[in-house]
Amino acid sequence: MTLQKRTNSIIEVSKEAAELRKHAPSVIIGAYDISLQDKAIAAFPTVDRCSEVDSPQLGVLSEAFPAHIDQRTGEEIQDMAVVWMQGHLIAVSMFCGAREKMNEWQSKSLCSQIINEHPTLTLMEFILFCSRLRSAKYGKFYGSIDPAEILGSLDLFLKDKRQDIARHMEEVERQRREKEWEESRKNAITYEEFLRRKESGEYPTLSKLEQAEKQSPPVEKKLHI
């Protein structure tokens, strides 16, 4: 990760990142802290349910508060998204009782890779992912937490997400068709009502077609031998 001498105020960012900068980093971290890992699976039994919470995307968080060197103090400021993710992964490691922790380089590289490969992953989705890691949904950690295993588990999590979204869309479509069917039944009429309306002239086009058919000369059928 390249550090540049710059301050957040002079970096041109997207509208979403600019909106996120209206909040102090501590407020964002506090709103999505590690305690949510305890509740995430119960609150969001499927990944698509995370969309019920309007949480920032990892890529936007990284864009809003990137790694840089403060011009005034010369202090090295870490990427906020990376720092936030590291905190959650440490919580997973502690919960699972892993004897060997990832070193700082592994941890930073892992978080940066996830952000670069999956920038649209939301904070709430990442929390749910961590919660599922704790529940051993994607396998158990034996002795240590391996970055490669984390990435493999994330692939499975994203597969779950795609399947959950597909099921949700199918359910929405099923409900739409069911509603249309119910509406069509409400508007349906009996055969007797149809005849009454036709006699009263409500279907002039149909009446004209029937009249034209009656007036048409019969077609002579010839037998060819």
pLDDT of residue 4: 47
Same structural domain for residues 180 and 154? no
Q: Is 125 exposed, middle or buried (0-12, 13-18, 19+ CB in 10 A)?
A: buried
Q: Is residue 212 part of a domain?
A: no
pLDDT digits (tens, 9 = 90+) for 166-220: 999 999 899 888 888 887 777 777 778 777 877 787 777 766 666 666 666 665 5
Q: Is residue 142 part of a domain?
A: yes
Same structural domain for residues 157 and 177? no
Same structural domain for residues 76 and 182? no
Same structural domain for residues 109 and 83? yes
- In whole angstroms, what is the distance from residue 213 CA to residue 211 CA? 5
CB 61 within 8 A of CB 28: yes
Residue with the two structure tokens 């403060």: 70
Q: What pTM was estimated for this model as a whole? A: 0.76
Q: Is residue 224 part of a domain?
A: no
Same structural domain for residues 56 and 125? yes
Band the pLDDT of 6: cuts 50, 70, 90.
very low
Same structural domain for residues 47 and 107? yes
Same structural domain for residues 81 and 184? no
Strand, coil or helix: what is 79?
A: coil
pLDDT of residue 1: 46
Same structural domain for residues 99 and 189? no
CB 46 within 8 A of CB 38: no
pLDDT of residue 127: 98
Q: Is residue 129 part of a domain?
A: yes
Domain range for residue 191? Answer: 172-206
Greater confidence (211 vs 65) lies with: 65
Q: Is residue 51 part of a domain?
A: yes
pLDDT digits (tens, 9 = 90+) for 68-93: 998 888 899 999 999 999 999 999 99
Looking at the 3D structure of the chain, how many domains does it have?
A: 2
Q: Is the dihedral of CA 36, 104, 161, 125 positive or negative?
A: positive
Same structural domain for residues 184 and 131? no
Quick one: average pLDDT of 120-146? 92
pLDDT digits (tens, 9 = 90+) for 10-52: 458 999 999 999 999 999 999 999 999 999 999 999 999 999 9
Same structural domain for residues 47 and 158? yes
CB 111 within 8 A of CB 81: yes
Band the pLDDT of 153: cuts 50, 70, 90.
very high
pLDDT of residue 12: 82
Q: Is residue 74 part of a domain?
A: yes
Question: Which token pair is 167?
Answer: 């099921």
